[in-house]
Structure 1
Amino acid sequence: MSKVSERAEELRSQIQRYRMAYYQNNESLIPDHEYDALEKELKALEQNHPELIDSQSPSQIVGGKAAEVFSPVEHLEPMLSLDNAFSKEDFLAWAKRVGEGPFLCEPKIDGLALCLTYEQGVLTRAATRGDGAVGEDVTQNALTIKGIPHRLTGTHHPEVIEIRGEVFFGLKDFARLNASLVQAGKPVFANPRNSASGSLRQKDPSVSAARPLRMLVHGFGAWQGNLKSQSEVYELLASWGLPTTKRYEVVKDAEAAFEFITNLESSRHDVEHEIDGAVIKIDSLQNQSELGKTSRAPRWAIAYKYPPEQVNTKLLDIRVSIGRTGRATPFAVLAPVLVAGSEVEFATLHNQDQVKAKGILIGDTVSIRKAGDVIPEILGPVLALRDGSETAFEMPLNCPECGQKLARASSADVDLRCPNSKSCPAQLRERIAYIGSRAALDIEALGYVSAAALTQPLEPKIPPVISEADLFDLKLEDLLPIRSMVLDPDTGLAKHDALGNPKIVDFFARKDGSAGEVAIKLLANLEEAKTRALWRILVSLSIRHVGPVAARALTEHFGSLSAIFAASEFELSEVAGVGPTLAQSISEWFLIDWHKEILERWEKAGVQLAIPGHLGPGSASKNGIFAGLSIVVTGSLETMTREEAEAVIIELGGKAASSVSKKTAFLVAGPGAGSKLIKAQELGVAVISEQEFLQRTAGNSN
């Protein structure tokens, strides 16, 4: 695998993690501008190297999937995201592509996207965006939001219409809510956006009803209307009693639109809700229709993102955390400071080279910026405020948690790593937490706090989990004695109470010593996880470079983990999407005895390590109707995702390739097909529709 492809895979993994946290857990793990930079870098890599584009790349799909707390809802029309502009040049380049105005300009609300479905004027469903195609049914909670009409007023209501908008907390309402929490001795919310998202996505609608949620609508999905402009749509929606913003303007050209952008930025703190930019749309609905959309965003609209706000604070210390692969990451401990509506006390520094590059010293007053949440970026020191007491940071020689000497995995690795992968408490804690994440086995009761309690309890002195091998052997009697400190998932540091004492909890037992809800739920979740899809089992082993795409391809081809680990590196690298670097990583992982013990103990505990009915390595390729064929899928499909189509191709013996070449048997092209379709036409490669693909595979796939 080339450095470019490795970087692309790393970016995809990071972006997926941050999307998952943002859309499903109501958490922002990095500032918005850092996330935007990752997306921008990935898009540039894929544009320059089209062969790297993967159907499940974040660049090809809208963020987030529907959580399992609520029923999944399929939108009548895809609920897309927006492309971003970060400078006047970006914006004018977009304006040149879409043609002349007029443009409708409005604030970009930093809230949670919501889709309201009205039938004959009656609200029948409310759903979050989810992955753009499927969201979460939050109807009962949405019905509690003041301002959302249960029945439309006015006349001429369509038979069915989807109304899109944003749910948020007004800034004054948010301040009052936090003040009431302080008065009640309860922890305050971090920021309006995540708090609004969490409030709407509560199992109990009465919780949503008790929160001052609001909504503003800004467009529609499914609707056969006869209006001519977006601004007319807003007027009609308002006449139906729907809450619309009064802050939009229709301007004649791009220069006037950019003037709106700059004026709004200068007065952003006067807006009643948080904004992180402006949205500019072509006002003409006919022009919108002609411009169309990509697989993830309309071409006729763009979000202009404002630079994040900056503040100064004291850098109290620089410490080091250890990740699940042993990576040592410095992070800054800051004097708590309010930035963009939330209190910040930590900032990631990535590696020791970045600390030097920023020129920061412990004790400095530093300038930080943050676009909306948990871990901001340190820009640099305020040199004029140095008094000579500052000290330089020195990267520790040894792991702060297990004492092993830190080292680079290779000469090309910029990061130092702890080599004690088996026994390092931090690595074990992070790996166990990862097993429970949605990226791996999706075990609801196995979050970061549970993982810390299982691997590093205060009592008993010997943890019940000293290796992944122990996880599926856990019994109730192993859980009840556990007393543990509550650790922060971002830093691994102990959380403290109001008096400054570490928080210590009986995590799995009630006060009377009986089993608590978490203990019972964890054991039930672990039992359910034993029959998860085989690719999830493979991902959960934390083998370096093995993500969901490669895991799917490997498990579909080999059918069992024993077959995967028995294969040679050459055989592994021949599987589509694997390659020599990943193949070497798999082979090296299985050479370690305690890794083998994980598989042996899991299998003995009943974990399903093979696909039922699979005929063995290469069986599909020997018997399937696509045997030996290289097939590419591109564009948006209507009846399945591209990943599902590629799974069918693999199941029927074909190779689901990522790029078009002379060896491509045919291209399956859906709406929005771009460069791959053009290349196929240039090379004379056959192109078929989704319907033709379904006809060819009918009755063949399981």
Structure 2
Amino acid sequence: MSPQEQIKALTAELRQHTYNYYVLAMPTISDYDFDKKLEQLSALEKQYPEFADPESPTQVVGGDITKEFVTVKHRWPMLSLGNTYNEQELVEFDQRIRKAIGDNFEYVCELKFDGLSMSLTYEQGKLARAVTRGDGTQGDEVTTNVRTIHSIPKKLEKGGYPDLFEIRGEVFMHLKAFERLNKERVDNGEVPYANPRNFASGTMKLQDSAEVARRPLDCFLYGLYTEKTLFKTHWESLEAVKEWGFHVDNHSRLVSDINGVLEFIAKWDTERHNLSYDIDGIVIKVNNYSQQQELGFTAKSPRWAISYKFKAERVETELQAVTYQVGRTGAVTPVANLKPVLLAGTTVKRATLHNADEITERLKLHEHDTVYVEKGGEIIPKIISVNLDKRKPGAKAIEYITHCPACDTKLLRTEGEAAWYCPNDEGCPPQIVGKMQHYIGRKAMNIDGLGDETINTLYSRGFIRHISDLYHLQDHITELKQMDRFGEQSINNMLDGIEKSKQQPFEKVLFGLGIRYVGETVAKKLVAHFKTIDNLMAATAEELTAAEEIGGRIAESITEYFADESHRQEIEKLKASGLQFVAEEKELTLASEKLSGQNFIISGTFEKFSRDELKDIIEQNGGKILSSISAKLSYLVAGENMGPAKLEKANKLNIPIISDDELLAMLS
């Protein structure tokens, strides 16, 4: 491959990795490997500058701008830092500093949080705007979402701050919160996030701030920007912003030389495992602001700061077997069972393998392979690669199973998805038990007196096979009293809890059914749109996607679920037991009747309003919302990113297409 072709290929590859990391929040390469490829590209561009792309990843801070939010230009660019993975390069960095400004300076050492960079603007002591880093020059305004983070002050109480300033930091998620929320995603049949950083980043990109508020994010602030310099040093500014009420990490240290830096790094290379959040390195900054100005900037990063990144801890061990777990949605997850080995302070016996492609394509695993296991930013250890030099002669390649390990049903794989599924949801024990455990859970039906172990016992004894069977347990009181740990009081508590669950609102019941991809938020959206279970069961895929935030994948899952006659029969049994399958209607007070007799559909995204808000405006003024485009439709209220099929159909029927502003003009 010629140098020109190498540069072109590396540029394209790094752009894709940058997009995966910053925009999709789903990196497919480690930070270390990314930086090494970036160094390789930089060396080639210096050797062959005539082939370098002006928009090369070596010149541009990573990250495109997502379309869901307003784009805001940064008053001060949010530059990235140069990275290093070894101490010798830190010593060389120190020598360059000394050569430029002499020996009379200090460093501030800070933990490098593994989260999402955020810039906050305060005006007159109030939070005015929050913007993501984006491409370093401009980012996405996410103020509404950031206001849900408790550790970020919305209004400053103490004085001393200027009328206008920016403060920058990192939004992140604590490890325990990540584990809990990720488990909920798995239970809901959703794809889990790889690590807390991705979860925090994905959360910030949600358009529903109410959902953001349900996810416990935190934020450390570490950089003050003002028009007029208020302090002589970075350390003084950190102390000041603490006084103003900002959440600043207390582990930062002021050191006098490179030896102090190296001691700080050595300490946290070990101590980081005791933190409640992830760090992936240490940031080193020259303390004095005037010395920072003297040192200046490159096109991409400041010359007065550098990031030392820890290598992800990696150990070698033997793969003993691959086993398979079946979730309540039928997804089959492979797990690597390992010879126990100490990694990052804990004994590791298992590692995630994600899906079939991981086993057969990426790793090409063979029986009893010697594997490298890593636990970097990921909570669950991951197999990185295989030590081919230690592969046993004649070892057989591991083939992904073709039938369910629990019920022997042939597995299916939906086009475009990585996971294999067992379709036997009515006869596969882990799915049956898992769905009932989900149904009784706190966020679903919240049934007191019933727990996961009780569900297991009741299923194994043959008392329950479907959710509807819970509502007939009173028919088995005599048999229950003869069982261990089923005293009269515990049986009464259980039956009382089951009876009370009949009062739970429709959205809780719908979420409790455990339909794949129908999580807590999606269930609320569906109930708000369709009002009754009969409407929902009768809805076409097109009518489903007309509901707010319901995409094609969710619509397909719902139509498949209700196409199964056994599921429809189960709904009828639950109806007969007295469960709620109609939305609780709030009394609507009309603001006017200006839209009376007119029918609307709302499609796309809007800058000023959510679709629910526009729906409320229409209904409060006498209009009606339809679920699909037909000749009955009076107006299509169109925002950005509206589906082309809807637009085409509306034009074919000569239906007026209006904006949200034109809708409001009809009311004025």
* TM-score band, normalised by shorter chain: 0.5 to 0.7
Which residues of 2 match residues 645-684 of structure 1 at below 5 A? none
Indicate the residue corresponding to 2:242 in structure 1.
Answer: 238
Indicate the residue corresponding to 2:387 in structure 1.
Answer: 380
Q: Summarize the Cα distance change of 1:251–1:344 in structure 2 as closer, same or farther, 3 Å threshold.
A: same
Structure 2 residue runs of 5 or longer lacking an equivalent are: 323-333, 400-411, 432-513, 519-534, 553-647, 649-668
2:406 is the counterpart of 1:365:
no
Q: CA deviation at 1:365?
A: 3.4
**Cα separation, 2, equivalents of 1:345 and 1:230:** 44
Q: CA deviation at 1:259?
A: 1.4
Q: Summarize the Cα distance change of 1:506–1:170 in structure 2 as closer, same or farther, 3 Å threshold.
A: closer
Give, as a single letter, the amino acid of the residue that structure 2 aligns with 1:288: Q
1:25-83 per-position Cα deviation (integer Å, ceiling 9, x unaligned): 11111222222222121122222222232221111011101100111111111011111
Structure with higher Rg: it is 2
2:542 is the counterpart of 1:516:
yes
Q: Is the 8 A contact 1:162 1:220 kept in 2?
A: yes
Q: CA deviation at 1:336?
A: 7.2
Q: CA deviation at 1:313?
A: 6.0
Q: CA deviation at 1:348?
A: 12
Q: Is the 8 A contact 1:108 1:276 kept in 2?
A: yes
Give, as a single letter, the amino acid of the residue that structure 2 aligns with 1:32: D
Please state whether the residue corresponding to 1:226 is helix, strand or coil. coil
Q: Summarize the Cα distance change of 1:134–1:517 in structure 2 as closer, same or farther, 3 Å threshold.
A: farther
Q: Is the 8 A contact 1:83 1:297 kept in 2?
A: yes
Q: CA deviation at 1:515?
A: 3.1
2:22 is the counterpart of 1:17:
no
2:273 is the counterpart of 1:269:
yes
Please state whether the residue corresponding to 1:245 is helix, strand or coil. coil
Structure 1 residue runs of 5 or longer lacking an equivalent are: 318-332, 395-482, 527-605, 607-702
Give, as a single letter, the amino acid of the residue that structure 2 aligns with 1:5: Q
Q: Summarize the Cα distance change of 1:313–1:185 in structure 2 as closer, same or farther, 3 Å threshold.
A: farther
1:257-277 per-position Cα deviation (integer Å, ceiling 9, x unaligned): 011111110111012210111
Which residues of 2 match residues 34-45 of structure 1 at below 5 A? 34-45=33-44
Tell me the C-alpha RMSD between the 2 structures: 4.6
Please state whether the residue corresponding to 2:131 is helix, strand or coil. strand
Q: Summarize the Cα distance change of 1:343–1:393 in structure 2 as closer, same or farther, 3 Å threshold.
A: closer
**Cα separation, 2, equivalents of 1:86 and 1:10:** 25
Match of 1:146 among 122, 144, 150: 150
Q: Is the 8 A contact 1:104 1:281 kept in 2?
A: yes
2:493 is the counterpart of 1:485:
no
Indicate the residue corresponding to 2:476 in structure 1.
Answer: none
2:293 is the counterpart of 1:289:
yes
Q: CA deviation at 1:211?
A: 1.0
Give, as a single letter, the amino acid of the residue that structure 1 aligns with 2:45: E
Q: Is the 8 A contact 2:150 2:218 kept in 1?
A: yes
Please state whether the residue corresponding to 1:485 is helix, strand or coil. coil
Please state whether the residue corresponding to 1:293 is helix, strand or coil. coil
2:84 is the counterpart of 1:55:
no
Match of 2:308 among 301, 304, 307: 304
Q: CA deviation at 1:191?
A: 1.6
Give, as a single letter, the amino acid of the residue that structure 2 aligns with 1:235: E
Please state whether the residue corresponding to 2:541 is helix, strand or coil. coil
Q: Is the 8 A contact 1:280 1:303 kept in 2?
A: yes
Indicate the residue corresponding to 2:116 in structure 1.
Answer: 112
Indicate the residue corresponding to 1:229 in structure 2.
Answer: 233
Give, as a single letter, the amino acid of the residue that structure 2 aligns with 1:309: E
Please state whether the residue corresponding to 2:25 is helix, strand or coil. coil
Which residues of 2 match residues 574-613 of structure 1 at below 5 A? none
Indicate the residue corresponding to 1:81 in structure 2.
Answer: 80
Q: Is the 8 A contact 1:31 1:372 kept in 2?
A: no
**Cα separation, 2, equivalents of 1:244 and 1:171:** 19
**Cα separation, 1, equivalents of 2:181 and 2:293:** 42
**Cα separation, 2, equivalents of 1:496 and 1:198:** 29
**Cα separation, 1, equivalents of 2:74 and 2:86:** 33
Give, as a single letter, the amino acid of the residue that structure 1 aligns with 2:336: A
Q: Summarize the Cα distance change of 1:187–1:153 in structure 2 as closer, same or farther, 3 Å threshold.
A: same
What's the TM-score once normalised by structure 1's chain length? 0.53
Which residues of 2 match residues 321-340 of structure 1 at below 5 A? 335=336
Q: Is the 8 A contact 2:232 2:290 kept in 1?
A: yes
Give, as a single letter, the amino acid of the residue that structure 2 aligns with 1:22: Y
Q: CA deviation at 1:136?
A: 0.6
1:302-322 per-position Cα deviation (integer Å, ceiling 9, x unaligned): 1101111225463879xxxxx
Identity over aligned residues, as a percent? 33
**Cα separation, 1, equivalents of 2:30 and 2:355:** 10
**Cα separation, 1, equivalents of 2:516 and 2:174:** 35
Q: Is the 8 A contact 2:17 2:29 kept in 1?
A: yes
Q: Summarize the Cα distance change of 1:272–1:370 in structure 2 as closer, same or farther, 3 Å threshold.
A: closer
Q: CA deviation at 1:253?
A: 0.6
Match of 2:212 among 185, 195, 208: 208
Indicate the residue corresponding to 1:345 in structure 2.
Answer: 353
Which residues of 2 match residues 400-415 of structure 1 at below 5 A? none
Please state whether the residue corresponding to 1:267 is helix, strand or coil. helix
Q: Summarize the Cα distance change of 1:344–1:220 in structure 2 as closer, same or farther, 3 Å threshold.
A: farther
Q: Is the 8 A contact 2:69 2:140 kept in 1?
A: yes
Q: CA deviation at 1:282?
A: 0.6
